[in-house]
Amino acid sequence: MVARTHEPGLKQAHFRTAGLPALLLLPQLLILLFFFFIPSIRALMQAFLLADPFGATVHFVGFDNFKALFESESYRNSIWITVQFTLAQNILTIVVALILAFATDRVVRFQSAYKGVILLPYAIAPVIAGVMWAFLFNPAVGPVAFLIKSFGIAWDPNRNGGDAMLLVVLAASWKHICYDYIFLVAGLLAVPRSLMEAAAVDGAGPIKRFFQIALPLLGPTLFFLTTMNFVYGFFETFAIIDAVTHGGPAGATNILVYKVYQDGFINLDLGSSAAQSVLLMSFALLLTLLQFKYVERKVNYSI
């Protein structure tokens, strides 16, 4: 039966059978049930329970796991490390991407060749990006480390926490600049030409136009990219940390998502790990809500 009634998110011409859509939705809902809802609910439950590593005894402890977390020096350290890491990564990524996007927008010749190469790191796995940067900066064999040392600067990411942090920030940014770049190039392309021409007639040079016209118009894009960079920094950089520093030296690069993994799988402290998962989940939720605000603005891209 085709009926015509209006309901949000539903086609005006639609079917009214009930059995078929249930069947169509079944695979998606089953997978979500097993690998999304059940694990999420279990994380919530475990966060309020205390269990020994072998699961023999379990009892309800309320907010004790959370309290213990905030009292532990290593967790507070991990929060601080994560803030430093994500902020540095975010700023470096977005500034470099903006400069490259601005330059791409100005050139005509070789434009697609430049774009093609700058996009490449998107295809490369974070762990491989990590391996390559770890090699460049390896104090024993790395060519860049050699260069640094030849200037008389001490460099050893295996011992010095600051060096290690710098290294993972560089590797993480290198991998993610291309993502911001794609969106910024698209955003600059969408800036109305007439605006730019009018400003040029009024005597505004290219740099001034960029800061006074293009940048404000890119505002929503920059907002979106900032949240996406935080999502990336918080969750997806796990592989880089694991390949390059293992969270070390002495916890200097032990970001939150790496600590969840370490406490859950290496120290087998499931309650604490689950409480950390729940905190990360709330944070992820916050970031998603921020993203929805962006989606509401309905920014239009066309490439």
The footprint of another protein on residues 144-163 (CB under 8 A) is 146, 158
Q: Which two tokens stand for residue 238?
A: 């796990």
| 12 forms part of the interface with another protein (CB under 8 A) | yes
| 267 forms part of the interface with another protein (CB under 8 A) | no
Classify residue 300 as left (phi > 0), alpha (psi -120 to 50) or beta: beta
| CB 275 to another protein: min, Å | 11
Give CA–CA dist 3/75, Å, rounded: 57
- Applying CB under 8 A, which of residues 25, 83, 153, 154 lies at the interface with another protein? 25
Assess contact for 180 and 147: CB atoms under 8 A.
no
| 239 forms part of the interface with another protein (CB under 8 A) | yes
| 266 forms part of the interface with another protein (CB under 8 A) | no
| CB 91 to another protein: min, Å | 16
Sole residue written with tokens 């213990």: 68
Selected range binding another protein among 61-69, 76-84, 87-95, 176-184, rule: CB under 8 A: 176-184
Assess contact for 129 and 240: CB atoms under 8 A.
yes
Secondary structure (DSSP) of 97-135:
HHHHHHHHHH--TTHHHHHHHHHGGGGS-HHHHHHHHHH
Closest CA to 258 of 234, 230, 286: 234
* Contacting another protein within 51-90 (CB under 8 A): none
- Applying CB under 8 A, which of residues 54, 123, 162, 296 lies at the interface with another protein? 123
- Applying CB under 8 A, which of residues 83, 95, 154, 200 lies at the interface with another protein? 200
Give CA–CA dist 31/136, Å, rounded: 42
- Applying CB under 8 A, which of residues 63, 70, 80, 122 lies at the interface with another protein? 122
Selected range binding another protein among 56-64, 73-81, 83-91, 227-235, rule: CB under 8 A: 227-235
- Applying CB under 8 A, which of residues 84, 91, 190, 236 lies at the interface with another protein? 236
